[in-house]
Chains A and B, each alone.
Chain A
Amino acid sequence: MPIIINLDQVLADHNMKSKELAEIVGITEANLSILKSGKAKAVRFSTLEAICQALDCQPGDILAFSSPAPSKGGE
C-alpha cells in the first residue's frame, strides 16, 4: 500500500503509548493497531482529527505517500 502510517514515530516523539492514545481518541486498541500496521482500508476524518488533536500534529505527520515501485513486467 503506497500510504505509510508514521504513527509509531509520532507516538515515540510525544512519549505516548498506544493505549493512552486509544483512550484519548476514543477508539479500541485493536483498531489503533489496525491503523498502525497499515491494514486499515479507510480513516474517518473524525478519527484523524482526534489523533491530530491528541498528538498536536498535522495529518501529514502521520500519513505519508510513497509511490509503489514499478513492476518488472513494465505494466
Chain B
Amino acid sequence: MNLNKLFKLVIDLAFFLMIPIVVFFPGTILYILIFPEQSIFSVNIPFTESGFGGKALLFTLTFFALFLLFFFGFYQLRKFAGLLLKGKLFSQEVVLCTNKAGRFFTVCALGSFLFVGVNAILTNSGRFSITFGSSNFKLLLFLLIVGVLFLLLSDAFRKALALKEENDLTV
C-alpha cells in the first residue's frame, strides 16, 4: 500500500467516525433539553431543577460550532487526499482545498483558545489549570500549527502550479 492510499484511508476513517457526531449532536441536545431527566445519555452539562444552565448550554453549542469548523477542515483535507490519490498534485483544486483546510483549522484553534480561556475564567475562579503531558492546550497549539502549515502549503502549491504552467508552456 503506498502512502497516498494510507493517507486517504486514515482520513476517511476519521471523517466517517466524525459524521455521527455532526448528525446526531443537534437532535441529542434537543432531546436532552426536552427530557432533562432522561437516562439514555450521560451528559456533562450541569443540570438544575429549573433545567440546564444558560451558560452551560451556550458553551456546549459553542463547542459544537468549533467542532463543525474542525469537521469542515477535515472535509477539505479529505478532498485533498482524494486529489493526491488521483495524481492531481499541482492543480487549482489542491490550492483551494489546502487553503480552506488551513483557514478552518486556524479559526477552529483560535476559537478554541478563546473558548478554553473564557471557560477557565468562568469556571476556575480566573485561574488556568496546568496539565502536564499532552494537555488540551498543547493539542490546540498543535492544531493551530497544522492550520498555519496548511496555509503555507497552499501558498507553496500556488507557486508550484505557476512554475508548472510556465514549464508546460516552454517550447
Give the residues in chain B near A43, CB-CB below 8 Å.
170-171
CB-defined interface of B148-171 with A at 8 Å, one 1/0 digit per residue?
Answer: 000000000000000001100111
Q: In the assembled complex, how far is the CB of residue B27 from the closest CB belonging to chain A, in whole angstroms?
A: 55
A12 to B86, CA, bound (A): 44
User: Which residues between 5 and 47 of chain A lie within 8 Å of chain B, taking CB atoms?
Assistant: 27, 31-32, 34-35, 39-44, 47
A40 to B86, CA, bound (A): 27
Q: How far is the CA of A31 from the CA of B171 in the complex (A)?
A: 6
- CB A40 to nearest CB in B, in angstroms, measures 5
Question: Of residues B165, B166, B169, B171, which shows the largest number of chain A Cβ atoms within 10 Å of its Cβ?
Answer: B171
Interface residues on A, range: 10 to 19
Please report the C-alpha to C-alpha distance between residue A44 and residue B167 in the assembled complex, in whole angstroms: 11
The total number of A-B Cβ pairs within 8 Å is 23
Q: Which of A27, A39, A47 contacts B169 (CB 8 A)?
A: A39
Using Cβ atoms and an 8 Å threshold, which residues of chain A touch B166? 41-42
A34 and B166 CA atoms in complex are apart in Å by: 12
How far apart are the CA atoms of A21 and B165 in the complex, in Å?
24
Bound-state CA distance A24–B166 (Å) is: 24
Closest to A51 in B: B171
Within the complex, what minimum Cβ distance (angstroms) separates A9 from chain B?
Answer: 18
Chain B residues, Cβ within 8 Å of A39:
169
Rounded to whole angstroms, the CA-CA distance of A27 and B171 in the bound complex is: 8
A24 nearest CB across to chain B (Å): 14
Q: Which residue of A lies closest to B169 (CB)?
A: A41
Expressed in whole angstroms, the Cα–Cα distance for A41 and B171 within the complex equals 8
B interface vs A, CB < 8 Å? 165-166, 169-171
With A41-B169, A43-B171, A47-B171 known, 10 other A-B pairs at CB within 8 A are A27-B171, A34-B169, A40-B169, A40-B170, A42-B166, A42-B169, A42-B170, A43-B170, A44-B170, A44-B171
Write 21 A-B pairs (CB below 8 A) sorted by A numbering.
Answer: A27-B171, A31-B171, A32-B171, A34-B169, A34-B171, A35-B171, A39-B169, A40-B169, A40-B171, A41-B165, A41-B166, A41-B169, A41-B170, A42-B166, A42-B169, A42-B170, A42-B171, A43-B170, A43-B171, A44-B171, A47-B171
